[in-house]
Amino acid sequence: MRSLTAAGLMLIVAGCAGTGHQPADYAPQSDADTELQARARIHTELAAGYFELGNYGVALQEAAEALKSDPNSTPALNVLGLVYMELRDDKAAEAHFQRALRISPLDSNANHNYGTFLCQRKREQESVKYFLAALRNPLYTTPDKSWVNAGICARQAGDLVNAEDYFQKALKVRPAQPQALFQMADLAYKRKNYPEAKTYLMRLQRDDVLSAELLWLRLRVERGLGDRNAEASLGFQLRRNFPDSREARALMAGQYE
């Protein structure tokens, strides 16, 4: 699992088989078309795999091969957008995401990833509409991720009301969604509602998630509740498991906020 905070905006590379939507004028494909699209799908899956491994050069090559077979392959364009985003070539990343969405406006993965790109580039208000667009597809298999990212980006923009609403919707879809639980706990902590924050954290603990930021939040919640034994135990775990983390340094310095 990636970071539980705003730095942990998730990317979706899956979806090379499409979103399940067909255009209204859909017609039976010829054998040649089917073969070319199959070839494009294979190269796109390879590109996505190399992207996950951080081998961006080969990912670009495979995605380019996919587009040779199917110039309108939304999944291939989506992977290219992700690769260029990681390479910090923002102009190329945006061009590929936008082209993918011109071809398939309802493609959930392309909408989600373009929203992630915009949010990471501090264009939070723009980003939210793409996460919401991803959710319009009834066949979308991971709607909780788009709800969470919409919440993270709304929160970064200072829109706490909508942020909380998006996190709650993520939890309706997936009650154990770890990022949504963490964000709700953190929002409750910021309001000094320590019992509510602990309730969310207890739900999160069931998945045995361990990170410096989670331990740090749990420690500060217990501090707010006045449980010094729990606070000391969590402080020990933080120093032992994450001695070089920013959170451990804050603990040692007594900087709780």
Instruction: Let me know: does 44 contact 66? Beta carbons within 8 Å.
Output: yes
Below-70 pLDDT ranges, the chain: 1-10, 13-33, 205-209
User: Rounded to two decimals, what is the model's pTM?
Assistant: 0.85
Range of the domain at 117: 1-16+32-174
Instruction: Let me know: does 9 contact 116? Beta carbons within 8 Å.
Output: yes
End-to-end CA distance of the chain: 25
DSSP 107: -
CATH value at residue 7:
1.25.40.10
* 168 lies in the same domain as 182: no
Distances (CA, A) of 101 to 81, 85, 130: 11, 16, 10
* 141 lies in the same domain as 109: yes
Last residue of a domain, one of 140, 174, 208: 174
Distances (CA, A) of 250 to 212, 218, 245, 256: 11, 14, 9, 7
Q: Tokens 């996950």 map to which residue? A: 52
The total number of structural domains in the chain stands at 2
pLDDT of 135-161, one tens digit each? 999 889 999 999 999 999 999 999 999
Q: Which amino acid is at 170?
A: A
pLDDT at position 37 is 86
pLDDT of 166-206, one tens digit each? 999 999 999 999 999 999 999 999 999 999 999 999 998 66
Q: Which amino acid is at 173?
A: V
* 237 lies in the same domain as 210: yes
